Chain A
Amino acid sequence: MSGVKQRVPQIILTVVALLLIASAFVARPEGGSAPLGPRLLAIADQEFATWFSILAVFAFLMGGLNLVATHLAKIRERGPDRFYSLVTLVSFLVVLVIGTAKLGGPPGLQGDVTAPGSWLTAVFDAVLSPLHATLYSLLAFYIASASYRAFRARSLESSLLLGSALVVLLGRIPAGRHLTAWIPEPLAFLRVEELSLWILRVPNTAGQRALMIGIALGVIALAVRMIAGVEKDPRSGGDGS
C-alpha cells in the first residue's frame, strides 16, 4: 500500500511535467484545422493553470487553519506569547470577515473588494501599507551596518569590491554626478555615473550570467531527477531512489 502511495504521486508528477514541457515546444493551434495533439496539449496547458489556482486556494485554507490552531493552542496554554497570538487571531478574523463580506465596497460576487471606500482598502492603507514600509525600511539600516562590517580593504579582491561599491553608491545619486561633472567630454566615460553604469552592465552582467548558467543547470538537474523519480521524496525517510 505504501508503494502505491509513493508511486501514484510520482506518476502524476512525471506525466504533468512532461505534458507541460511538451506544450512549451508545440505550436499553438490556430483555428480548427490544427492537429489533435497540439490542441490537446494547449487545453492541458490552460487547464493546469486553472488547477494550480484551485490548489493555491486549498493551500491558503490549510495555512489559515494551521495559523488558527497554533495560536489557539498558545492562548489555551497561557504561554508568555499569548497576547501576540491573540492579536494575530483577532487581526486574521477581522480581515477575513471584512474581505469576505466585502464591507463598504461594491456588493456581489463580481464586486471589487479593493475598490476605494471598501473596508479592506482602508485596512490596507492604514495598517498593512505602513507596516510593510516600516519593515522594508529597516533594510536601509541593516545595509548600512552590514556594509560597514563587510567593505574593508583587507586584500586585493576586497579592495576591488570596496572600490566598485563606492563607485556604484556615488553613481546612483545626483550628488555623485556633480562630483565628477568637471571631467571633460572626451573622458566622460570616467565620470562616476558612467563608471557605475559600466560596472552594472559589464562586470556585473558577466558574473550574473556565469551564476545564471550554473543555477539553470542546477534547476534542470533537479527537475530531471524529480521527473525520473531519482530525487528522494522530501517526505521519505529511507532511500527513495
Chain B
Amino acid sequence: MSGWFAPGTWNIALVGAFVCAVIVFSVIRSRRGAMVAVRPLPPLLALDRAVADAVAGGRPVYFVAGSQDLDNMQTVAALAVLRPLARKVAEAGGRLFVPTNRSLVMDNAREICRRAYLDAGRADLWRDDWVAYISDDHLGFVARVDGLIARERPGLCVLMGFFASESLLLAEGGHHVGAVQIAGTASAVQLPFLVASCDHVLLGEELFAAGASLEGDAARLGSLRGQDLCKLAAAACLVAGSLVATLADVTGAQPWLFLRDAFLNVFRAG
C-alpha cells in the first residue's frame, strides 16, 4: 500500500474516522430502540405560536434559507427546518413565501412546500410563485426581500442557514415591520447581529439539530447523541492536552514532553 496515503493526513483521517464511527454507532443504537432525550430548543418551541399568530392576523410567513447553495451544509439544515415549518403553515391555512438566491435551492424549496401543502390537504391554497428565485447576488437578493417584507408586512420571518452581511439587513427589515423573528445560523460572526435583531436564535450547531428535533425520527436523534459524545471527547482532549502541555513546560520531564508531542501530532492542523 506504499504510495497510497498522503503524508501528514493520517491524524485527520484518525479523528474523522473516530467521529464518524461514534455517530454511526449512535444512529444504529437509536434505530434499535435506545431512547434519546433531546433538550427542547426554545426558538423551535416558539415556532408554533408564531405561525398561529401570523396566520390569525392574516399576515404571511417568510422563510429565507441563507445565502448559499445546496453544497453548503447550512442550506441543507435550513431546508430540513422548512419542511416541518411549511406543514405547520399549511395546516394553519397560511401563506408561506420563500425567496431564494440560488436556483437549486428554489427548486428544492418549492418541492418541499408544494408537498407540505398537499400533505396538509391545502393544495388549493398553494401557489408555485410563493417560492421564487431572486438573484445570486446577495445584496440584490436582500434589496428585493427587504422590499417584499416592507410591503407584505409578514407576521413571522424565519431566517435559517448561512448568512454573511445580509443577516442584519434582513433581520432589521423584519424587525422594522414588527414581525416575530426566528433565526438560526452556524456563521459565528453573524450571530451577534441576529441576536440583536431577532426574537429567538438557534446558535451554531443547534441549526443542524433543528430539523431532527422538529421531526423527531429515531435515526436523526441518534446522530445528535453521537455528536454530543464527540463534543464531550473533544472537551476531554482539550482539558487533558492543556494539562499535559502545562506539565511538560513546568517539569520538563520526558514522559510529559512525549505526551505533549503526541497530542500536538494528533491534533495538528495540516
Which residues of A are interface residues toward B (Cβ below 8 A)? 24-29, 33-35, 37-38, 59-60, 62-63, 66-67, 70, 73, 84, 131-132, 135-136, 138-139, 142-143, 145-147, 149-150, 208, 211-215, 217-226, 228, 230-232, 234-237, 239, 241
Known A25-B6, A135-B143, A234-B112; further 9 A-B contacts with Cβ < 8 A: A63-B103, A135-B139, A139-B168, A142-B169, A142-B172, A211-B205, A218-B207, A235-B112, A237-B115
Question: How long is the Cα–Cα vector from A70 to B144 in the complex, in angstroms?
Answer: 14
**B residues 168-216 in Cβ contact with A at 8 Å:** 168-169, 172, 186, 188, 193, 195-197, 203-205, 207-209, 211, 215
Report the bound CA distance from A62 to B105 in whole Å.
11
Q: Which residues of B contact A239 (CB under 8 A)?
A: 217
With A and B bound together, what is the CA distance between A37 and B2 in angstroms? Answer: 11
Contact of A66 among B73, B111, B118, B132 (CB under 8 A): B132
Q: Select the residue from B13, B16, B204 with max chain A CB neighbours within 10 A.
A: B204
Bound state CA distance, A84 and B115, in angstroms? 30
Residue pair A235, B115 in contact (C-beta under 8 Å): yes
Nearest 4 interchain pairs by C-beta: A63-B103, A218-B208, A218-B205, A214-B205
B16 — which chain A residues lie within 8 A by C-beta? Answer: 220
B27 contacts chain A at the CB level, 8 A cutoff: yes
- Cross-chain contact A235 with B20 (CB below 8 angstroms): no
Min CB–CB distance A95 → chain B (angstroms): 11
Tell whether, in the assembled complex, residue A212 and residue B165 are in contact, meaning their CB atoms are under 8 Å apart: no
Contacting residue for B227 out of A63, A66, A149, A218, CB 8 A: A218
A108 to B87, CA, bound (A): 51
Does the CB pair B193–A146 fall under 8 Å? yes
Q: Mark B6-17, 1 if CB is under 8 A from A, else 0.
A: 110110110010
Contacts of A234 in B (CB 8 A): 76, 79-80, 82-83, 108, 111-112
Q: Give the secondary structure class of A's interface.
A: helix
With A25-B12, A142-B172: A132-B139 Cβ-Cβ less than 8 Å: yes
CB-CB under 8 A for A218 and B186, given A27-B4, A146-B197, A241-B219? yes
Say which size band chain B's interface belongs to.
35 or more
- Which residue of B119, B196, B209 contacts A146 across the interface (Cβ within 8 Å)? B196
Contact check, A59 vs B172: say whether CB atoms are below 8 A apart: no
Chain A residues in 8 Å Cβ range of B10: 25
Contact surface of B with A, Cβ cutoff 8 Å: 3-7, 9-10, 12-13, 16, 19-20, 23-24, 27, 69, 73, 76-77, 79-80, 82-83, 102-104, 106-108, 111-112, 115-116, 118-119, 129, 132-136, 139-140, 142-143, 147, 165, 168-169, 172, 186, 188, 193, 195-197, 203-205, 207-209, 211, 215, 217-220, 223-224, 226-227, 230-231, 234
- A-B contacts, 5 of them at CB < 8 A, read A139-B169, A219-B186, A221-B208, A239-B217, A241-B218
Q: What residues of B have a CB within 8 angstroms of the CB of A225 in the complex? A: 27, 219-220, 223
- With A63-B133, A226-B76 in contact, is A231–B220 under 8 Å at CB? yes
Report yes or no: B136 in contact with A63, Cβ–Cβ below 8 A: yes
A221 touches B223 (CB 8 A): yes
In the assembled complex, the CB of B164 is this many whole angstroms from the nearest CB of chain A, namely 10
| Assembled-state Cα–Cα distance A43/B256 (Å) | 44
| Distance in Å: Cβ of A28 to nearest Cβ of chain B | 7
Among the listed B169, B204, B208, B211, which residue makes an inter-chain contact with A135, where contact means beta carbons less than 8 Å apart? B169
Which residue of chain B is the closest to A133 with respect to CB atoms?
B139
Decide if A219 touches B73 in the complex (CB within 8 Å): yes
Which residues from B are CB-within-8-Å of A38?
A: 3-4
User: Which residue of A has the minimal Cβ distance to B2?
Assistant: A35
